[in-house]
Chains A and B, each alone.
Chain A
Amino acid sequence: MKKSRFRQILCSSLCTVVISAFFFIFGGGITAAGSGPQPGKMGLDEAGRMQVSDGDRCPVCAMNVIKHPKFASAIQLKDGRTFYFCGTGCMIRSWLHPEVFLGAEKDQLQKPVVKAYFTGKEMDAREAIWVAGSDVIGPMGPALVPLKDEAELETFRERHGAKATFRLSEMDDEKWQAITGKKAVKEK
C-alpha cells in the first residue's frame, strides 16, 4: 500500500518536472511566434534582390521560406522591413491584406518581388503577367505563376495550360475568390 502511494507521488512529481521543463524550454518560442508577423532577417539588397535567411518564416503560413527557393517572393515596406513568402499565393494575399498578414497599412507597401517562372530572375511582381489554373504546383498547392512577357505566356500556356491570366494591379478579393475558390482572408 505504502509502495503504491510512493510510486504515485514519484510519477506525479516526474510529470510536473517534465511539463515545467517543456514550458521553460519552448515557452519563449511560443511567445515569440504569437507576437505577430516577423520580417526577414535581411532586407532586399542594393540591386533589389531577395536575401532569404534560414529561419525567415512566411507570415501567412509560417513555412520556412529558405526551403522553397524557387517560389520564394517578398514584399518590401516603406519603413525598410521586408517580408519573405514561401510562394506567390501567400505574397498576393499579403499584398491584398497587409493589415491582416503583415501588421501594416496598405499605403506602407513599397515593392513586391517575385522570381520569373522560366528564368528565376527576380522582378517587380507588378510588372509580371500572372497565370492561374495551370498544372504547376507550388509549396501551397496549385501555383500562381509570374511570367516576364507575352512570349513566355504563350509558351507556358502550351506547356502547362492556363485558366486565367491577370496583373497584380487587377487583383482584388473578388478575383482571388474566383480564381482560387477561397476567400483571401478568413472571416472572423
Chain B
Amino acid sequence: MFYWALRDILRRPVRHLLMIFALAGLMIAAAAPLLFTGALSAGAEALLSDAPSIVIRRADPVGWQPIPIEPGIKAAESIVGVIRVRARRWGVIDGPKNPLVVIGDKGLSDNHASSLPDAFSSDLPSNSDFQSADFRDFSERFPLTPETAPLTHETVSLSWVRAGQLLNLPLGTATDLGIDVYYPQEVEAVCRELSDAFPWPVQMLTHQEILSLFKRRASMMGSAALFSLIPALIGMILMVMAVLQQQAANVRETGLLKALGWTARDILRLSFLRMLLVIVPAILLGAAGIAAVFYGPAPFRSLGAPLGLFFGWHGALSALPFDAQVAGSAFAAAGTFILLPYIGASLWSAVRASAAEPGAFIEGGGAG
C-alpha cells in the first residue's frame, strides 16, 4: 500500500513538491509572529534587567545638551539614596547605509572596537565617518547580550572615545547619566531632589517609564509581526481549496479502484499514506526553514528580510536568541495552524470518496 501511495505521489511530482514547499512556507510565516513576540519579551527583560532606576539628561531651551560628567556625578551622588551613577554615551548617527545607534563602551580600547550587525559587516564606504577599525571582532564586553538582539537591531558599540567623537560630545561629557537607587520607592523622592541638585535644567526618565515605553514598543512590534499571519491565512484557505479540488479530480481513479475490489478501508489507508508522504517532508522542511531564517547564519536570515520591514530594519534579520520552549511552542502552533486544515481537507475527501458507489465515479458523477 505504501508503494502504491508513493507511486501516486511520484506520478505528479511537481504538484506534490509545490504542495510540500507551500506547506513549509506557510509554517514559517505562521511561526514568525510567535517567535518574534517571544524574542521581544525576552529581549526587553534582558535589556531592562540592567537599566538604571533613573536616566537624567541635560535639557536646555535649544534641546538636549551633553552633560558634564564630573559635576553631574558629584551632584547625583550628593542625594541620599543614590547608590550608583553611570555616565553613558549613546546616540543615533548616519551609518553607511542607514542610521545606527552607537553606544560608547568604556571597556573597549580606542583602537579596538566593537561589534557590527551582520547586515553592515561589508560594503563600508571609504569616505564614511566610520573607519574599518571601528568594526572588528565581537567583543565579550559588548554591553548588550544576544537576547536583546531583536530590540537592538542596528546598534553598535564603540570605544568610549570613538563614540564621543562620532556623537560630537566634547571631552568630559556624556549623553546622559544612569542613576541607580536601592529601593524603587525612593525613585520619586530622589527625582525631586535631583532636579534641584543640578546646576542646569534636566529631564528625567524613571525605570517605570522606560518599562512602559518598552512594553508599548514590544506590543507594537508584536502586532506588526501578526500581519504576517494574513498571507499565511490566505495561503491556508487556498491550499484547502486546492486539496478538495485535487481529490474531486481523482474521482475516476477512486471509482476504478473500488471497481477492482478495493474496500473503503483500503481507499482511506491509501489517502492517509499519501497525506503522510506530503506532510512529513513539509514538517521537516518547515522546521529547517524556521531554524535557518530565524536562527541561522546571515545569508539564510536574509531570506526573512521582508519581515524586518515591519520593524523598519534594513538587511538581514537579527538572529533570534534560541529558546527551546518558545521555538517548540511556535513550531507546534504553526504546524497545527497550517497542517490541521490540510489533514482535515484530505481526510474529508477520502471519507467521502470511500463511501460513494463506484459506478457513480466511473460515470463521472464524482463523490457527491
Contacts and interface: CB of A to CB of B under 8 A. Distances in A.
Nearest to A70: B183
B186 A119 contact: no
B256 interface: no
B128 interface: no
A120 B80 contact: no
Interface in A139-188: 151-152, 155-156, 159
Nearest to A151: B80
A118 B82 CA distance: 8
B80 A70 contact: no
Contacts of A119: 83, 182
A95 B182 CA distance: 26
B185 A118 contact: no
Contacts of B185: 136
B189 A159 contact: yes
B91 interface: no
Interface in A66-121: 70, 117-120
A119 B84 CA distance: 10
Given A151-B80, A155-B80, A155-B81, A118 B182 contact: yes
Contacts, number: 23
Contacts of A156: 80
Contacts of A117: 182-183
Nearest to A117: B183
Nearest to B189: A159
Contact of B182 (A70, A151, A155, A159): A70
Interface residues of B, number: 8
Interface string B72-91: 00000000110100000000
Interface string B82-105: 010000000000000000000000
A119 B81 CA distance: 6
Nearest to B190: A159
A153 to B, nearest CB: 10
Contacts of B186: 118, 159
A118 B182 CA distance: 6
Q: Which of B80, B182, B185, B189 has the most CB of A within 10 A?
A: B80
Interface string B174-189: 0000000011011001
A56 to B, nearest CB: 21
A136 B183 CA distance: 10
B182 A120 contact: yes
Contacts of A70: 182-183
A140 to B, nearest CB: 16
A68 to B, nearest CB: 13
Q: Which of A119, A120, A136, A156 has the most CB of B within 10 A?
A: A119
A26 B92 CA distance: 58
Interface in B191-248: none
A152 B185 CA distance: 16
A119 B182 CA distance: 6
Contacts of A118: 80-81, 83, 182-183, 186
A115 B251 CA distance: 80
Nearest to A136: B185
A72 to B, nearest CB: 13
Contacts of B83: 118-120
A119 B186 CA distance: 11
A155 B197 CA distance: 15
Nearest to A148: B80
A175 B229 CA distance: 66
Q: Which of A70, A151, A156, A159 has the most CB of B within 10 A?
A: A159
A51 B318 CA distance: 39
Contacts of A120: 83, 182
B189 to A, nearest CB: 4
A136 B189 CA distance: 13
A159 B80 CA distance: 11
Nearest to B181: A118
Contacts of A159: 186, 189
A74 to B, nearest CB: 18
A120 B182 CA distance: 6
Nearest to A152: B80
23 contacts: A70-B182, A70-B183, A117-B182, A117-B183, A118-B80, A118-B81, A118-B83, A118-B182, A118-B183, A118-B186, A119-B83, A119-B182, A120-B83, A120-B182, A136-B183, A136-B185, A151-B80, A152-B80, A155-B80, A155-B81, A156-B80, A159-B186, A159-B189
Interface of B: 80-81, 83, 182-183, 185-186, 189
Given A70-B182, A118-B80, A155-B80, 13 more contacts: A70-B183, A117-B182, A118-B81, A118-B182, A119-B83, A119-B182, A120-B83, A136-B185, A151-B80, A152-B80, A155-B81, A159-B186, A159-B189
Q: Enumerate the 4 nearest inter-chain pairs by beta-carbon distance, A residue then B residue, closest first.
A: A120-B182, A155-B80, A159-B189, A118-B81
